[in-house]
Structure 1
Amino acid sequence: MTNTAAADPERPIPSRVLLRGGTIHSPEEPFATAMLVEDGRVAWLGSDSAADVAHADAVDEIVELRGALVTPAFVDAHVHLTSTGLSLVGLDLHDAASLADALHHIASFSGSLPEGATVIGQGWDESRWPERRAPSQAELDRAVGDRPAYLSRADVHSALVSSALVAAVPEVRGAAGFDAEAGIARQDAHHLVRKAAYSMLSPGARGALQAEALRRAAELGIGAVHECGGPDISGEADFLQVLAAGRELAGPEVFGYWGEFGAAAKALELGAVGAGGDLFLDGSIGSHTACLAHAYADRDTLGASYATAEQVAEHVVQCTEAGVQAGFHVIGDGAMAALLDGFDAAAARVGRDALHRIGHRVEHAEMLPAGGVERLLAFGIVASVQPAFDAAWGGEAGMYAERLGAERARAMNPFAALQKAGVPLAFGSDAPVTALDPWGTVRAAAFHRTPEHRISVRAAFAAHTRGGWRALGSRATASGMLVLGEPATYAVWDVDPEDVIVQAADERLSAWSTDPRSGVPGLPDLTPGRPLPTAARTVVRGRTVFDSGRLGQV
């Protein structure tokens, strides 16, 4: 559990803190066992003996690491904090084993709410159920009674809606993507019902959910998150409250992206660091709304296209001229082609050097057309990707193979090709689509279900730490490394020192390097089946935001 005193925003930050007796993950001093933090920054790295001679008598606090590993804290480059909070304390259907099981959970949760309260839940995935279908609207109505209900699919690109919610949002009946008989909203209809459902949450309820999500992130060693908001996601009020939570709560830092076309100036006015994030060019594969170049294998559709190459170009030009990052949600290869054509047109107007100076972003980038990797590199685009998507839905028998066929599914999420080409990678969860789980994310990239797409644990860790800061472009306020002068944003992990290794990503997976002469900082052994590390403490710019109580203090 969180140490509430340690997470108190009013608690003074110790001026000088010495950590000793562990392993410090630093490229600057790969053999360090001790670290001095002064005024929220890394002030010294070295051995325990040197620390005792030079610093032990002149510090406010000494932390006995007891062999623990200290690394830079993680950065989750794509989250939705309010809905993540809902998944933690509300109706979460990710683990529902069947249609009947899901309906049971929905009915039980609805029965616990006050009369007339809105039921908001998420996470159902009919592709994993033996029935192979979602609940009908009649089944949902029986489970929730006369309450408005919005239950998003696991990918959050379609939702089940009750009759009462449809009655409260009558315009959804004529919106693209609404299936009245099934009670499922996709495309524009989904944007309408999601916005309506979240507007039914009070500011107090939203604040509690955001605080819960930040608490959980801190507990997992996450020191910063990129919130992806927009008018079709949760609205301005929610976005502003999320940014305020990041400033006011003792937790991870929050950097916001506002996804709205032509709104570079508005994004800055709202306090966002960029005009992007979930600026949708398409939807998702699970909901059959990702825009494909060729039809789905299990349905005669190309998915949904929400914007043209011309709209992409206009937005990129506007953002580039304003000195603001643009960013786009892109999953299908049809949508990726539109994105790249839009950048071609933008480059013709402002020049490629101008695009590189900004470092615009693409979120997800799961399906790349021929030449797509090289074109991303040519425009200086950062790929903000989610390895847990492959862990959840990849593989020969996964949902991606079902929707696309095995050949196209095997080509998805080509992390190794992106990394080898030099495309900057930043890792995130898209929580609540997949859970906040940084070490699980690193493992998913290193043990991708398609072996040729694997990258090393070291490269994956860099994408989930340094990569998250790099993805902020000029708005980055840290490097994501424990080096002298950098912000002391770090996590302490309960790891056996013998399990701190250097791990490859190919046929040499069993050939770990533990030779200290290599000078390469090690990381926990993430071989599948092994337990993932747990955080003992998380610190953001010198302030402790999570403390398990397991470390010794003097």
Structure 2
Amino acid sequence: MTESTAPQSEHRTVLLRGGEVHSPADPFATAMVVEKGHVAWVGSEGAADAFAAGVDEVIDLEGALVTPAFTDAHVHTTATGLALTGLDLSGAASLAEADALVREYAAARPGDRVLIGHGWDASRWPERRPPRRADLDEATGGRPLYLTRIDVHSAVVTTALLDLVPGVRSMSGFRDGEPLTGDAHHAVRAAAYAGLAPLQRTEAQRAALRHAASLGVGTVHECGGPDISSEDDFTGLLKLAADEPGPRVVGYWADLDVERARALGALGAAGDLFVDGSLGSHTACLHEPYADAAHNGTARLDTAAVAEHVIACTEAGLQAGFHAIGDAAVTSVAEGMKAAAEKLGLSRVRAARHRVEHAEMLTPETIAAFVEFGLTASVQPAFDAAWGGEAGMYAERLGAARARTLNPYAALLRAGVPLAFGSDSPVTPLDPWGTVRAAAFHRTPEHRVSARAAFTAHTRGGWRAVGRDDAGVLVPGAPADYAVWRTDELVVQAPDDRVARWSTDPRSGTPGLPDLTPGTELPECLRTVVRGRTVFATPNG
């Protein structure tokens, strides 16, 4: 796996014992030895005695659960840090409450050149409309403000920020009085992020990585790009991850310029390379019009452009990847992959392990294309938890029948499509166990998967998505990226809400996981270890 130049692995030898170790090598393991940043052994408590005298440290787990660390396969790290440390409107219950939060934040940050916030969602507010520019001008005292919708595909801004971007009022996506989308949105986002002081940006990145570590996340896939952040933001994050202990950072740069992506240290010219937009902002590209708007969304790359990019990436030895949410956008990706395979050969395209981010509106035909071309589906189960269901935003945008087809994880797994789970943070929060729960208890029952399959997609799946089949699992020789959890009794959960009768029967030989039934308490992270180094620990961890 290509990643930021990593901090050195911990060379001490550590024995963990007296807990539950989630390992396919031994489903009843209660102990583990870590040496030189890798798992050296897993096994029983009795066998652990043979190692006790030869290790540098013995950790008594006191019944805690040890699992592979999670991988979040789609993160915007700086934006996540800014939401954690700054103006976050995701909890605002009304437009009036959002306005009050903007005023409070602006008053508290008199020295910021540009105010940046995130998370408004008018579909949840009784007013059913986004903030107006004139109101934001007044709330901020006329200062530049960039405020993204929860899906980050549209934004409202103040007049002062518009004035920093010459020509923005004539760009596509600018409609006076409405949230910015398309080119206008990308232009003001670039201006807003350019206004961040370098120290402010670095502190936001540190905050995001610390938060990820506190949740048992050992690796994040950073999805940057010229329409999303900046080259300095991207390379600065990779350097930060190289210089300081913390989660691994694998970088994707969403650019049609393949050599530029390589020069920046990206694993792929991939991630949020937009084929379309989002459902919430009415910019996902659909075959049929929206239920609540008389258009089909926005196409940003066509089949020919997809094919050209896949060919260029494959020949350069990089991953290609695309943001595609609407069914028409996913079809464009499938048809572009087919054209690339006809030129390069199917085996070369499959071997490159190209990716599709989000892939929400799928059909049997596009699922078959994912299988044929070896595509990884990098998906976000929390989207369904937030916007699915009969009365959710998806149903509002598409109608209930189409909304029920979204995010068909069970169909993808049955077909053999590799899944990698992520959050798209800050679109939805970093919350790995919540993500596993969202997939296991999908709002549409036929799309549910077992907790075990969901857990695999959020651990091993993220490693496989970057070309590593030897990691994300606690077996001898694997990287020592793991998390320690305080949790209740372990069970084996089926995808139909049942806890299997054989879940606590040792004859099953199946490693258990925490009970994730909605309403139960999620596990508490006590310690996160990356490359054998502790990057987070509670006082009792």
Tell me which amino acid in the other structure corresponds to 1:483.
Answer: V
Deviations 1:505-536 (A, max 9, x none): 02645646111111111110000000111110
Please state whether the residue corresponding to 1:255 is helix, strand or coil: strand
Q: Which residue of 1 aligns with 2:519?
A: 529
Q: Cα deviations across residues 388-419 of structure 1 (Å, max 9, x unaligned)?
A: 00000000000000011000100000000000
Residue 172 (structure 1) shift? 1.2
User: SS of the counterpart of 1:105?
Assistant: helix
> Which residue among 55, 61, 65 is the counterpart of 2:57?
61
1:36 alignment partner AA:
V
Query: Deviation digits for residues 298-342 of structure 1, max 9, x if unmatched?
Result: 111111111110000000001111111100000001111111111
- Gap regions ≥5 residues in structure 1: 1-8
Match of 2:165 in 1: 169
1:479 maps to amino acid: A
Match of 1:98 in 2: 94
CA distance in 2, matches of 1:257, 1:373: 24
**Residues of 1 paired with 2:164 and 2:8: CA distance?**
45
Q: Where does residue 481 of structure 2 map in the other structure?
A: 489
Post-superposition Cα deviations, 1:367-399, rounded to whole Å, max 9, x if no partner, equal 013411111110100000000000000000000
Matches within 5 A, 1:143-292: 143-182=139-178, 184-261=179-256, 263-292=257-286
Residues in 1 aligned to 2:217 and 2:107: alpha-carbon distance in whole angstroms: 35
Matched position secondary structure for 2:155: strand
Contact preservation (8 Å) 2:492, 2:500: no
Q: How does 1:388-537 map to 2 (within 5 A)?
A: 388-473=382-467, 476=468, 478-496=470-488, 499-506=489-496, 508-509=498-499, 511=501, 513-537=503-527
SS in 2 for 1:472: coil
The amino acid across from 1:304 in the alignment is T
- AA of the residue aligned to 2:42: L
Q: Distance in 1 between matches of 2:406 and 2:499?
A: 22
AA aligned to 2:35 is E
- The residue identity in structure 2 corresponding to 1:493 is W
Task: Provide the C-alpha distance between the structure 1 equivalents of 2:409 and 2:520, rounded to a whole number of angstroms.
Answer: 23
Runs of 4+ in 1 over 3 A off after TM superposition: 9-14, 507-512
Which residue is 1:41 aligned to?
A: 38
Q: Distance in 2 between matches of 1:37 and 1:285?
A: 45
Whichever residue aligns with residue 514 of structure 1, its letter is T
What is the Cα-based RMSD across aligned positions, in Å? 1.4
> SS in structure 2 opposite 1:481?
coil
Which amino acid letter does the alignment assign opposite residue 170 of structure 2?
A: G
* Residue 451 to residue 509, structure 1, CA distance change in 2 (3 Å): farther
User: Per-residue displacement from partner, 1:408-455 (whole Å, max 9, x unpaired)?
Assistant: 100000000000000000000000000000000000000000000000
Q: Distance in 2 between matches of 1:272 and 1:511?
A: 46
CA distance in 2, matches of 1:544, 1:226: 20
**Cα deviation, residue 550, structure 1:** 1.1
Give the superposition deviation at 1:487. 1.0
Task: From 290, 298, 303, give the equivalent of 1:296.
Answer: 290
Q: Taking every aligned residue pair, what percent have the same amino acid on both sides?
A: 60
Cα distance between partner residues in 2 of 1:10 and 1:172: 42
2:175 and 2:57 map into 1 onto residues whose CA distance is 61
Please point out which of 517, 529, 532 is paired with 1:539.
529
Which amino acid letter does the alignment assign opposite residue 534 of structure 1? E
Q: 1:82 to 1:305 in 2, by over 3 A?
A: same
Question: Which segment drifts farther, 426-435 or 108-117?
Answer: 108-117
Letter in 2 for 1:289: T
Aligned residue pair count: 536
Question: In structure 2, which of residues 317, 322, 327 is the aligned counterpart of residue 328 of structure 1?
Answer: 322
Is 1:129 the counterpart of 2:125 in the alignment? yes
Q: Which moved more, 1:19-28 or 1:504-513?
A: 504-513
- Write the letter of the residue equivalent to 1:308: D
Q: Secondary structure at the match of 2:504?
A: coil
* Counterpart contact for 1:340–1:376, Cα < 8 Å: yes
**Aligned match of 2:69:** 73
Q: Partner of 1:75: helix, strand, or coil?
A: strand
Q: Tell me, what secondary structure is at the counterpart of 2:41?
A: strand
CA contact (8 A) 1:410 1:450 kept: yes
Please tell me the residue identity of whatever aligns with 2:219.
A
Deviations 1:53-108 (A, max 9, x none): x1111111111100000000000000000000011010000000000000000110
What TM-score comes out, normalization by structure 1 length?
Answer: 0.95
Question: With structure 2 as the length reference, what TM-score do the two structures score?
Answer: 0.97
Shift of the 491–59 alpha-carbon distance from structure 1 to 2, 3 Å rule, reads same
Q: Distance in 2 between matches of 1:449 and 1:511?
A: 24
Unaligned runs of 5+ in 2: 1-5
CA contact (8 A) 2:89 2:120 kept: yes
Paired with 1:450 and 1:547, the residues of 2 have a C-alpha distance of 37
Shift of 1:264: 2.0
How many Å separate the matches in 2 of 1:10 and 1:338? Answer: 40
Judge which range, 43-52 or 382-391, deviates more. Answer: 43-52
Secondary structure of the equivalent of 1:185?
coil
Q: Distance in 2 between matches of 1:249 and 1:106?
A: 33
8 A contact 2:7–2:244 mirrored in 1: no
Q: Is the 8 A contact 1:14 1:60 kept in 2?
A: no
Alignment check: 8 A CA contact 1:77 1:468 kept: yes
What is the correspondence of 1:363-402 to structure 2 with a 5 Å cutoff? 363-402=357-396
Deviations, residues 184-215 of structure 1 (Å, cap 9, x unaligned): 21111111111110111111111100000000
Please say if residues 447 and 454 of structure 1, whose CA atoms lie closer than 8 Å, have aligned partners that are also in contact: yes
Alpha carbons of 1:170 and 1:458: their partners in 2 closer, same or farther (altered >3 Å)?
same
Distance 1:120 1:253, change over 3 A: same
**SS of equivalent to 1:190:** helix
1:5 equivalent in structure 2: none
What secondary structure, in the 3-state scheme, does the structure 2 residue paired with 1:26 have? coil
Distance 1:544 1:478, change over 3 A: farther
